[in-house]
Chains A and B, each alone.
Chain A
């Protein structure tokens, strides 16, 4: 791939910083794509180099990926991924970790937000982050046996560990004088299981601890051991019930980048339209839930009423309200019907009108102001430290947006207007989302007007080359979703790593709830628009038959009645 002069200058600068710091530990540097620098380093220099990247280049930490490369190189590899947002660059820092000494320096001292991903690669492949402040389990269930690392290559995807009894998550003790108020694992306003332990003094929160990942089902393992490249988009789409298209797009883009597949312009436009439609219905959904959390059900009912036509249109476009199944490597499986255009434009006009009315009502509602202003404060410094993404980052004055920083689909031709606020409170997050919502309407409208003719899928003649690493991001409604794909030889990725936006954002919760009132915890958490199963990558799949069966409503009813008669077990 050609690298222009300006790209060259940016790459040089990164290499310069790294070389200065690494003391000869830089093993190789490559620029596989115009937007990616892949540096292989010795692990001893990791912390120094990360310091340089973060402090001198203002690099934003994205994710760490642990890869079991023993079949290839004999060692494990840990890839720390950074983004230079202004320079539109990804920086991959790959260090190999030998099996005899499976440790690597923790970078949490420099990047607070790296905590979870380090705990995750420890759980997944067994490389220990040395000096990690909180080395408890993150991803594995509490009854999972010690010493079994599911993402190692020699670990079978269908292994079932023996049952264990009376296991408990290891939780921190509350500070003296505080009582514990549990929130979860099942709690009315958390739509998914999550266990928060709030340390309270009266009605004030002193701190909190959490146990998450109850939904973890090993999607990534399926991706690199069972499914093939073209099957994964369907699985990726099912990572999330709201922003499924985002995940399938993000995965496809990563593979397309690795295989240098040029996606037709029409497909990129249609992807943009669908992505923005998802943002519209997701933000409306969120507004409703935020209202509901505050006891304001009128807002819930009205925003969901406004949202419904979007779902119907998505159904007309794709055949489904959600989980469109439109993406495939190289483009789309389904074209955009032309007769939908006028209907969509009409619906957009109506949505715009009603959302504007909702915005005016929200802005004019003084009770909403007192419940959200100054609540769940996240300062710009903390947002950067924890590497928060999406609306929560933008509401804290961190102007990052994957659509601008790493343009994809048709966003280079239809750039979004980035909405930021400085306050960092729940109110700011409400405003950012409403502004984005209206901007999305504009983007869909412009994309529809400019929708080019042409093919919707690239013709792919060669198989996808192995051993290529590609990173792709998509700005989901909740923030930047990231897919990391290392291609493999057997028509499936060697390693597929998904990072949903809620993953970094949830790590900001302890900071946000400190010193707030109990009554403000649900809305503070809700203002992140958390999506737990996204974060935890849940999936169920019937591997016994592998067949798709269509149930009629009557059959489903019978089935559920049978289940109840049997005593509720499935």
Chain B
């Protein structure tokens, strides 16, 4: 029992560390790629770390008083770190239990909700618009995420992510899981706040939306939270929908996962760089279509494909 607790805690710590300290690097990588496609040299790949350091060292200015508002950036980052402990990275999820899939769906939405709250609290019309856009995006993307994970649940007959992962490794690729994975990938673009779905922030329209009043350490924590979330969701995608090859060795599996994650991030960055921003109504329409299409995955799952 004690060893199990220590093992779980260690794994938690590992997952959190990976998510926290690799996410700026991944962001740096995406920036570099973006720059290359822009015909620019771009900042060094380590730039996001320096960005965070600089922001963390700045004066803490707040537009609104209130303990809730004060805690929001830290809470947002924490919520993404909790998400990191709930998903598998190279091995079983550290805090996994029967039914953790439902919790993952909730926790994945939490950071968006917290960002929304901070926007509504900051009393700027831009933040207000940004937050309501964030809410609309969340409401349209969440069903896609849920459907994709439900396909796994239907196939593996379990609500535990590790169960789905095991089923995947035993049974190999299937049409339904491939479609679900694709739907998840499309939802990822919006959940990571990348173009053409960075509508809630939309610098050129509403000057960063919910973040318009944020600066210094508070902005650093929000940014960090977004990068962590982006990376953790990519891990979730590759571990649950594309877990092969599986070697059974933690270090080897972790490395394989990271390599797959980089491939997904490159794809995300490519979509980001070749698209202009959609309008909120267009994005909603898009995700309604994606949600309906992903129902096809459920249908395939029912007929056993």
Residues in chain A within 8 A of chain B (CB atoms)? 179-182, 187-189, 203, 291-299, 301-302, 305, 365, 367-368, 370-371, 517-522
Contacts and interface: CB of A to CB of B under 8 A. Distances in A.
A302 to B, nearest CB: 6
Given A182-B125, A188-B207, A203-B129, A367 B278 contact: yes
Interface in B230-282: 273-282
B203 interface: yes
A367 B277 CA distance: 8
B136 to A, nearest CB: 10
A519 B199 contact: yes
Contacts of A182: 125
B204 A302 contact: no
26 contacts: A181-B125, A189-B204, A203-B129, A203-B280, A291-B276, A293-B204, A294-B276, A294-B277, A295-B196, A295-B203, A295-B204, A296-B195, A296-B275, A296-B276, A297-B34, A299-B276, A305-B39, A365-B276, A367-B196, A367-B276, A368-B276, A517-B280, A518-B206, A519-B199, A519-B205, A522-B205
Interface string B180-211: 00000000000000011011001111110000
Give the most central of A291, A292, A294, A365: most B CB within 10 Å. Answer: A294
B38 interface: yes
Interface of A is mostly: helix
Given A189-B205, A203-B280, A518-B129, 16 more contacts: A181-B126, A188-B203, A188-B207, A292-B204, A294-B204, A295-B204, A295-B276, A297-B34, A297-B273, A298-B38, A367-B275, A368-B276, A519-B199, A519-B202, A520-B279, A521-B205
Nearest to A302: B39
A292 B196 CA distance: 13
B194 to A, nearest CB: 10
Contacts of A519: 199, 202, 205, 277, 279-280
Contacts of A296: 195, 275-277
Given A295-B195, A301-B38, A365-B276, A188 B204 contact: yes
Given A298-B273, A371-B278, A371-B279, A518 B205 contact: yes
B277 A301 contact: no
Q: Which 9 A-B pairs have the closest CB atoms?
A: A295-B277, A301-B38, A296-B276, A294-B276, A519-B279, A189-B204, A293-B204, A367-B276, A305-B39
A189 B198 CA distance: 16
Nearest to A361: B274
Nearest to A289: B204
Nearest to B203: A188
Contacts of B275: 295-296, 367
Contact of B40 (A189, A291, A301): A301
Nearest to A371: B276
Nearest to A306: B39
Interface in B145-193: none
Contact of B198 (A181, A295, A520, A521): A295
Nearest to B40: A301
Nearest to A202: B132
Contact of A179 (B39, B125, B203): B125
A203 B281 CA distance: 10
B37 interface: yes
A518 B280 CA distance: 10
A434 to B, nearest CB: 16
B205 A297 contact: no
A290 to B, nearest CB: 9
Contacts of B198: 295
A519 to B, nearest CB: 5
Contacts of B202: 295, 519
Contacts of A521: 205
A295 B282 CA distance: 15
Contacts of B207: 187-188
A180 B281 CA distance: 21
A426 B19 CA distance: 43
A517 B206 CA distance: 12
Interface in B111-135: 125-126, 129
A361 B279 CA distance: 20
B205 A370 contact: no
Contacts of A518: 129, 205-206
A297 to B, nearest CB: 7
B30 to A, nearest CB: 13
Nearest to A187: B207
A178 to B, nearest CB: 12
Nearest to A517: B279
A297 B36 CA distance: 12
A522 B206 CA distance: 10
A316 B196 CA distance: 40
Contact of B38 (A181, A297, A367, A370): A297
B231 to A, nearest CB: 22
Contacts of B126: 181
B286 to A, nearest CB: 10
Contacts of B196: 295, 367
Nearest to A305: B39
A371 B277 contact: yes
B174 to A, nearest CB: 31
A365 B39 CA distance: 20
B104 to A, nearest CB: 30
Contacts of B205: 189, 518-519, 521-522
Contacts of A189: 204-205
B73 to A, nearest CB: 23
Contact of A370 (B125, B199, B203, B282): B282
